[in-house]
Each structure stands twice: as C-alpha cells, then as structure tokens.
Chain A
Amino acid sequence: MAMVARRVHFKTVLQRPYVTYALRRILTFIAVIWVAASINFFLPRLASGRDPIRSRLGQQAASGGSITGIQELVDAYSEKFGLNEPLYKQYLRYLWDVVTFDLGFSIASYPARVADLIQVALPWTIVLLFTATIFSFVLGTLVGAYLGWQNRKKQVDYLFMPLLTLSAVPYYVLGLILVYFFAFRTTAFPLTGGYDIGSRPEWTFEFALDALHHSVLPALSIVLVQLGSWALGMRGMMVMTEGEDYMSYAEARGVSPRTIFLRYGARNAMLPQVTALALSLGTIASQAVLVEVVFGYPGIGTLLYRSITGVDYFLIYGIVLLVVFSIALVTLILDLIYPLLDPRIIYSR
C-alpha cells in the first residue's frame, strides 16, 4: 500500500481546478444534508395532518406506551418546536437544531435525548462497520486484482465460485447461518449482544476482549459477503483494463509483467473500484442495520429496530438523518481523494 501512497499525486491539491472542484463537492454535500433534513421535517407533517407530534404521542398513549410524563413531553416539544408558531419558523428552528446536533427527545425512553441514545450506540456501529468495510474493501480489491492477473497461480481460480456465492447473499442471511453453526451448535461464539449480559461497558481490557469476541460473527458476516463482491468487481475491472492500448504498448516496451500488473493494470482498474465504493455506501449501511438486528449488537441498527417497534418517531428520524449524514460525509471524502488517484478527473467535469 505504500507503493500506492507514493503514486497518489499530492501536488494536485494545490492547484486551482482542484480547489474549485472541492468547493463544489462540499456545496453538494451541504445541499444533500439540507434536503434530507427537510424531507425529515415535511414528510410526517404531510402524512398525518397538521400536528404530527400530538397525534404520535396520542398514538403512544393509546397503544399503552409510557403514559407517565406524556404531558411534560408534549409541553417540552411544544416549547421546543414552537408548535404554535407559523410553519416557516418551525422549519428554521428545526434546521438550527439539526446543525447543533439537537435531535430532540426520545418518546419511548423519555427523558432521554435522541442524541444521547445515539451517542451510546454509535461507537459500536462505527467500529464494526467501518473496520469490516475497510478490511473487506482492501483485501477484496487485492484478491480481485490478483485474480485478474495473467500470471497468477492457476489454483487461485478455485476461489472464484465460493466468492461468487458468498457475494450474492445478503449480510444478515449469512449472519443467521453463522450464528446457527458457530453460536448455537457449538458455543464458540456468543449468540447475541455486544458484550456479556450483566457486565457493564467500561474501558477495561477484559471488556474490550469480550466485546471483540462478540463482534467476530457480525463482522464475519459483513466481511465475507463484501470480500466476495469487491474481489469480483476488481477482477472485472482488471479484465476490462487488459484490453487497453497502454497495456499492450507497455508489453511492447519490454516492461516487466509485475510492473505492468501493478502500475499499469491494477492502478487503473482501481479507479472505478473506488467509485463503486462511494456508490455502495448506501447499500452497505442498509444491510448493516439488519446484521445488527440479527445479532442483537448494540449499535445504531439495533437502536433503529427498537425505535421502529416502539414507534419512537423522533429517534427514527434522528438515526436516519445521522446515517444519511455519515454516508454523505464519506462520499465527500472519497470524492475529494479521487482526483489524487486519477489526474484526469477534474478536467472532465
């Protein structure tokens, strides 16, 4: 990977076209967040009439949710959202709240704030999803590149079918299978949760080890599937690159096969692969939610699931907004890195 880093063209960053490009991308990022937040604001109002909050709270009460403190909740919200104010003022307040990460109160767990609940769950998800995705992307791309090389050892081709099969199943389906075989039939791994029931989260080594133990299966179900799809994708890109003129010209120049593979083939094939990463983030996030649910892993996914079953309206919206934000952020980062990998890109926009 150091060899990749050396080939990233850092000087590009300082040039005018790049700065213009970066600014444009950042503006798009802000636009996306704003649109998502606005949809979050208007959708419930369109769906259930003029006062969504009271109707929701009423529903909660009617279905036997926590009745205590309902009036306080209604009052807190009325004050917060200025429900008696004209719509545009409510909207502006809302936008301000979003910017300051104030996502309101959770209905089901009042008086807990949405932001607090998310804060507890978020690190779990980041550690699991982030590491799993990066690991599978890097490893998968390497494996895929190798699979696409002329001079590979032929035995590696046996990997092809298993990878293909793995990449086709949804993460949580693989998760179910893994849980059955490794947590139920054998007790090598725990069935659910992020940590043993009864222990409390704290910054000790034992806890960290325990958390790691609990995260192996969920991580595996994400990694194995993603590995397959990244590897297959990269292999496809390598094959497409094979037919390019610069490949045969490099061969005509007597350049060594290894250099052709790394600097001419893989280096070019990597570009659409990175684009694909940026575009798949939405799917990965969605699927990860289900993985957490299957494993009862205490991350954002499970939180979302609980909020759905408890019809905790504000929590749902808060989480979804957060996820959209994260995806947009990562996409932005990838977009800003991309011109460093492909010197052509700024000019073509």
Chain B
Amino acid sequence: MTNGNALDVRDLYVQFNTRAGVVRAVDGVSFSLKPGERLGLVGESGSGKSTIAMALLRMIKPPGVINGGSILLGGSTEITKVTDKEMRAIRFARIALIPQGAMNSLNPVRRIRDQFLDSMRAHGVKLKSDEAKERIATLLTSVGLRPDVANKFPHELSGGMKQRVCIAMAVSLKPSVIIADEPTSALDVVVQRQIMETIGNVQEEIGAAVILIGHDMGLMAQFVDRLGVMYGGKLVEDGETKEAFRSPQHPYTQVLIDSLPSFDEEPRLVKIPGQMHSPLAPPPGCVFHPRCPKRFAACDSIVPVLRPVQGHQRVACLLYASSYPAQPQLEPVS
C-alpha cells in the first residue's frame, strides 16, 4: 500500500544509554516527504536534527539505539527492519548523505575517482574503465567542477570543491532522498550560496527529495519548500516555508524568525532567554516551556502533540490546544 511519498517517518524514538543517564535524542518525531520536495530541519545544537539523519541511514551506533517508530522509504521499504546487507544496498543508492565536514569526509590516501568507484562498485555498478571515467566526468561537471578533479587527492582541493565532490557522489546513484547535513557550515558565505545552488540543481535533475539540516534560518528561507523546527528532540512546528515565516505559530519559531536581521528595522539582538536544558534531564511537560515567553500554567505538566492548526501547518503547542484531550506523558523507555 504505497502512498507515493518518498519518505514517511512515524513516531521515531532514538535514545542514547550513556553512563551518565538516558538521553532521548529524538523523542517521537513524525513527518513525511513527497518526491522532489525540499524539507528543512532547523534547530539548535542538541535538538536532535543530526541524530535523525543518522537514524534515517540506520547509522546510530551504541550506546545509541532506535527504540521505536517506523521509517518507510518510498512507501515500501521499512528501514528499521531490513537486514544489514539490505541496508548497505539502500544507503547511497536510495537515500544518500551529503556530510557535514567535507574537510575530513574524503579518504586522504585515495584519489577522487577511486572514491567514486568505491560507492559505485559497492552497489553493483559494473562499468568498463572508460565508461566509468565518462560517468564520473559528467557527474563532476554537473556540480561545476572540471573533470580532471577526478585524478586529484582530497588535500589538493579547496573546501568548496570537496563539498561539491560529495554532492556529486550523493547523486551518482540517483537516490530518491538526499540528506544534506549542514553542508555549508564550514564554508564562507559566498561559497555557501554556490553550494546550495548546486544542490538545488542536481536535486531537480534527478528528481530527488532533499532534507536540509541546519541552523541557519536565512539559508532555509531561500532553499526549502517546507520547514520543520526541532527543539529538545521533538518536532515543534512543521509547515510550508512561506507560511512559517509569515506567521510562525510556535513561540520558539517566532523567536527564531525574529532573530533574523531585516533591512527595515533597527538592528537589535534578540535573545532567547535561558539555555537549552541538559539532555539528561528534560523539563516536564512541554520541552520548551522554561524558556518560552508565552508559557502558562499547564505548560509544565502536559506534553503538547504536533497537530494541524491552519492549512498545512502543524504545531506542538498548548496555545493551540483548545480541543486537546489530556495526553498522558510517556515514561522514559529503558
């Protein structure tokens, strides 16, 4: 029973059982991704956004574990249940990653061309050497690099070039979902823009959906169709980018957007009061309430659920929960 979605994530829970305690890095997150759609996941460090990326690729390592939920790829493949071998085949061929630190993500002792071949061969692509050469050259030109880059070693390339190589690799097997995990955080602003443009171009070429993970709201505004806001392991708002920016529903989103500089107003520093809680001791009730400028009495005892509010926007906030039945809090899963 397929529903045409590229990706369906339902009630995903990822926790880390550390010596200091249990950390619920992803705490019941659900969202869907349509083919070709661009979803942005934005949030502070520790909000769980990168963990989701690792979970989607099933690369959560001990002491972390996926302990609940489903990840349905292409409407038919349940990622949480496939075997290791099947998962290896899925990785990169159907769901690909553009890593965060391209500086160190490429093997320093292998040429670029060989690293392309590594991923291709791993997925059973058998090409004669000149066919392979051509294929790699095409991929490199599609991201704006000269074909002779294929013969170079990673240390001979600049940061932006390395990132482009990773983008080219990510589309080399034509996946249906691309996860870009903060692809531009190590680069300067000019290069950032080029990289984002490149990602957009190649994504459209192969018709893949993109999950862009980051914490730069400005970048999100220019790139994604839909915006998901994460805080404390939960998805607190999810809606179309334009609507989210025009009328943000969740107080956290409101402050985030407020913090963006605009030409109209006087420059001012907007702060979100307080600090993010320790991941070992999440606050009771709504996970944002200690810092929320709009909190009220019920916020420290009832956990808000992500519900649609207007149009296609979903929010997890008690301000909109006039019709909420009381929700039981979930006990920590051990």
On chain A, the residues within 8 Å of B107 by CB distance are 246, 250, 263-264, 267-268
B72 within 8 A of A: no
Is B122 in contact with A253, judged by CB distance below 8 angstroms?
A: yes
Q: Is the CB of B153 within 8 A of A252?
A: no
**Which residues of B from 89 to 148 have beta carbons under 8 Å from A?**
89-93, 96-97, 99, 101, 103-110, 118-119, 122-123
State the Cβ distance, B259 to closest chain A Cβ, in Å: 30
A254 and B87 alpha carbons, distance in the complex (Å): 8
Residue in B closest to A246 when the chains form the complex, CB atoms: B107
Q: Nearest chain-A residue to B99 (Cβ)?
A: A249
Inter-chain contacts of A165 with B (CB < 8 A): none
| B242, CB-defined interface residue at 8 Å | no
Does B88 lie at the interface of the complex (its beta carbon under 8 Å from any beta carbon of A)? yes
Instruction: Using A254-B91, A254-B93, A263-B118 as known contacts, say yes or no to A249 and B106 having CB atoms under 8 A apart.
Output: yes
Interface pair B104/A344, CB less than 8 Å apart: no
Candidates A249, A256, A264, A271; contact of B97 at CB < 8 Å: A249
A341 at interface by CB-CB < 8 Å:
yes
Whether B119 lies near A254 (C-beta < 8 A) is yes
CB-CB under 8 A for A255 and B122, given A249-B99, A343-B155, A344-B155: yes
Min C-beta distance of A245 to chain B, whole Å: 4
Cβ-closest chain A residue relative to B155: A344
A267 CB to closest chain B CB (Å) equals 6
- In the complex, are the beta carbons of A245 and B153 less than 8 A apart? no
Specify which chain A residues have a CB less than 8 angstroms from the CB of B109 in the assembled complex.
Answer: 7, 267-268, 271, 341-343
Is there an interface contact between A259 and B118, defined as CB atoms closer than 8 Å? yes
Q: Is B59 an interface residue (CB 8 A)?
A: yes
Knowing A250-B118, A254-B119, say if A344 contacts B101 (CB, 8 Å).
Answer: no
Task: Evaluate contact between B59 and A252: CB separation under 8 angstroms.
Answer: yes
B50 → A minimal CB distance (Å)? 12
Closest residue of chain B to A343 (Cβ to Cβ) is B153
The answer to whether the Cβ of A248 comes within 8 Å of any Cβ in the partner chain is: yes
- State the majority secondary structure of interface residues on A: helix
| Cα distance, A343 to B154, chains bound together (Å) | 10
A254 touches B105 (CB 8 A): no
Kindly list chain A residues whose C-beta atoms are within 8 Å of the C-beta of B89: 254
Which A residue sits closest to B181, measured CB to CB?
Answer: A252
CA distance A29 to B90 in the complex (A): 53
Q: Which residues from 230 to 284 on chain A have a C-beta closer than 8 Å to any C-beta of chain B?
A: 244-246, 248-256, 259, 263-264, 267-268, 271
Q: How many residues of B contact A (CB 8 A)?
A: 28
Q: How far is the CA of A252 from the CA of B91 in the complex (A)?
A: 6
Q: Say which residue of A252, A255, A344 sits within 8 Å of B108 (CB atoms).
A: A344
Contact: A249 with B105, CB < 8 Å?
yes
User: Which residues of chain B have C-beta atoms less than 8 A from A7's C-beta?
Assistant: 109-110
* Cα(A250)–Cα(B107), bound, Å: 9
- Tell me, yes or no, whether B57 is within 8 Å of chain A by CB: yes
Inter-chain contact A256/B110, CB cutoff 8 Å: no
**A347 lies within 8 A of chain B by Cβ:** yes
| In the complex with contacts A245-B104, A342-B109, A343-B109, A252-B118 CB distance below 8 A | no
CB distance from A155 to the nearest CB of B (A): 21
- Given A245-B99, A249-B105: A263 touches B110 (CB 8 Å cut-off): yes
Min CB distance A196 to B, Å, is 50
Assuming the A-B contacts A341-B109, A343-B109, are A254 and B122 also in contact, with contact meaning beta carbons closer than 8 angstroms in the complex? Answer: yes
Determine if B122 and A248 form an interchain contact, defined as CB atoms under 8 angstroms apart.
Answer: no
Q: A252-B92, A253-B92, A343-B155 are in contact. Are A259 and B104 (CB under 8 A)?
A: no
Min Cβ gap A271→B in Å is 8
Task: Tell me the residues in window 100-150 of chain A with beta carbons closer than 8 Å to chain B beta carbons.
Answer: none
Closest beta carbon of chain A to B85's beta carbon, Å: 10
A254 adjacent to B123 (CB under 8 Å): yes
Residues of A within 8 A of B108 (CB): 246, 268, 342-344
Most B CB within 10 A of own CB, among A244, A246, A267, A268: A246
B153 contact set on A, CB distance < 8 A:
343-344
Cβ of B318 under 8 Å from chain A? no
Judge whether A253 and B59 touch: CB under 8 Å: no
Is B118 in contact with A255, judged by CB distance below 8 angstroms? yes
Q: How far is the CA of A138 from the CA of B132 in the complex (A)?
A: 34
Task: Tell me, yes or no, whether B169 is within 8 Å of chain A by CB.
Answer: yes
Minimum Cβ distance to chain A for residue B125 (Å): 11
Closest-by-CB residue of B relative to A264 is B107
Residue of B90, B91, B103, B169 with highest tally of chain A CB at under 10 A: B91
What residue in chain B is nearest A257 (Cβ atoms)? B88
* A178 shortest CB reach to chain B, Å: 39
Q: Which of A252, A253, A341 has the most CB of B within 10 A?
A: A253
B287 to chain A, nearest CB (A): 28
- For chain B, residues 30 to 69, give those with C-beta under 8 angstroms from any C-beta of chain A: 57, 59
CA distance A268 to B109 in the complex (A): 7
Contact A255 B119 (CB under 8 A): yes
Question: Which residues does chain B contribute within 8 Å of A256, judged by CB atoms?
Answer: 88, 122
A-B contact pairs, 28 of them (CB 8 A): A7-B109, A7-B110, A244-B104, A245-B99, A245-B104, A245-B105, A246-B104, A246-B108, A249-B106, A251-B59, A251-B91, A252-B59, A252-B99, A253-B91, A253-B169, A254-B89, A254-B90, A254-B119, A254-B123, A255-B118, A263-B110, A264-B110, A267-B107, A267-B110, A343-B108, A343-B153, A343-B155, A347-B155
Contact surface of A with B, Cβ cutoff 8 Å:
7, 244-246, 248-256, 259, 263-264, 267-268, 271, 341-344, 347
Apart from A252-B91, A255-B119, 15 more pairs, CB < 8 Å: A246-B104, A246-B107, A248-B59, A249-B97, A249-B105, A249-B106, A251-B91, A252-B59, A253-B119, A253-B169, A255-B118, A259-B118, A341-B109, A344-B153, A347-B155
Which 6 A-B pairs give the minimum distances between C-beta atoms? A254-B91, A245-B104, A249-B105, A253-B119, A254-B92, A252-B97
